[in-house]
Structure 1
Amino acid sequence: MMRSILVGILAVMAAGIGFLTFQWYEQQNARKAFGVPFELVDQNGQKITEAAFKGGPRVVFFGFTHCPEVCPTTLFELDGWLDQLSDEGKDIKAYFVSIDPERDTPEVMKTYLGNFSDRITGITGAPDKVAAMAKGFSIYVRKVELDDGGYTMDHTASVLLLDSDGDFFGTIAYEENRDTAVAKLRRLAKEA
């Protein structure tokens, strides 16, 4: 009898420890919201916040208009991927966030993006606010001085995919295979 009581007490203790361990693990690995709150302006000079990244599938690319290769290539490809998806991707909204807001005013962004697509919305704003947003989205950015007195920007070249809650869904790498990129966007459109 005493042995049965002892086994019962040990079983209850083991279950309790297991439950507490599970709760601790869940808290440590709870899904945290991706990115940070922000308040910037779009290419029309209208206020835009993190709310724009919610409510449907979103694609976000950080770059700058004076970029010689990576940014124009990515924007051109992104427009092509969205066109290829046709109605399947009609709910995907795409954003191009300038990491060089000193040169990329809303007017500059509007003109620049007009060369690529009417489906990509430009975002810019005060340099400190843009820097905080980029950091909050884990985007690498570094200003590089040039010998001629000008500068360029080093930055993360991946396209971010966000689900309907604005949470991280994946990336598309620079110069990723077209079929792979379209498949990722198709999955985003279905899941989000």
Structure 2
Amino acid sequence: MAGNTGEAKRAGTSRRTLLLALLMGLLAGVVTAVLLLADFGQTGDPREASTGRALIGGPFSLVNAEGARVTEKDFSGKPMLVFFGFTNCPDVCPSGLQIIAAALDQLGDKAKALTPIFITVDPERDTPEVTGQYVKSFHPAIVGLSGPADDVAGAIKVYRVYAKKVENPETPDHYNVDHSAFLYLMDKNGEFIRHFPHTVDADTLATELAKVL
């Protein structure tokens, strides 16, 4: 009897431990979902009601291709489509910029009501002039921004972009930059509306942009 009682106690303890583990796992999942929603906000139709202000976007101070200092206030009054990347990017950035360019062409005159912006994550190599020339090779309407490393880091931070320099000891001058690759749609007041993956097709992007123009 004593043995059976001990086994019953151990079984009860195991069940309680398992239940506690399941509850903790469920709680972790809920917390993760809340954090993701806070980071990326509305990801569906931009006309749908939002549950709160997304923590994406904010003040920045950078330099354009002409060498002029610009801030987010210089672009107020028009929606912005903001894309972070770098000119030596082998595939993701050119692909994303090509899609943006194709969407702008589809929008035609409506595109004039939008400011597409490319912000470098590699200010060490991408001077304002280099960045500006790079984006103009994709579409004349795209604005290229760079600046001192601290200012670029500030823009990266407010848009919650991941960017990390990856060096190769054998070729230190030919480093890469790992970075997230979302297109951020901001309203005319600089508030976050939604984001798109860099793989979004031009037709979809043009359709969604037209809704806010």
Deviations 1:99-123 (A, max 9, x none): 1011011221122122111100111
Residues 32, 160 of structure 1: alpha-carbon distance in 2 compared, 3 angstrom cutoff = closer
Aligned to 2:93: 71
Paired residues for 1:104-143 under 5 Å: 104-143=126-165
Question: What RMSD in Å do the two structures reach over aligned CA positions?
Answer: 1.7
* Cα shift at 1:183: 1.5
CA distance in 2, matches of 1:95, 1:70: 16
Report if the CA contact (8 A) 1:139-1:156 is conserved: yes
Q: Where does structure 2 lack aligned partners over 5 or more consecutive residues?
A: 1-50
Aligned to 1:80: 102
CA distance in 1, matches of 2:139, 2:150: 28
Letter in 1 for 2:211: R
Q: Which one of 48, 54, 66 corresponds to residue 70 of structure 2?
A: 48
Paired residues for 1:1-192 under 5 Å: 31=53, 34-146=56-168, 147-149=170-172, 150-189=174-213
Decide which moves more: 33-42 or 125-134: 33-42
SS of the counterpart of 2:93? helix
Q: How many residues align?
A: 161
Report if the CA contact (8 A) 2:96-2:198 is conserved: yes
CA distance in 2, matches of 1:123, 1:144: 22
Q: Where does structure 1 lack aligned partners over 5 or more consecutive residues?
A: 1-28
* Cα shift at 1:143: 0.8
CA distance in 2, matches of 1:51, 1:180: 28
Residues 177, 32 of structure 1: alpha-carbon distance in 2 compared, 3 angstrom cutoff = closer
Residues 30, 78 of structure 1: alpha-carbon distance in 2 compared, 3 angstrom cutoff = closer
Q: Percent identity?
A: 40
Aligned to 2:31: none
Report if the CA contact (8 A) 2:132-2:145 is conserved: no
TM-score (norm 2): 0.70
CA distance in 2, matches of 1:30, 1:80: 32
SS of the counterpart of 1:154? strand
* Cα shift at 1:178: 2.7
Report if the CA contact (8 A) 1:33-1:167 is conserved: no
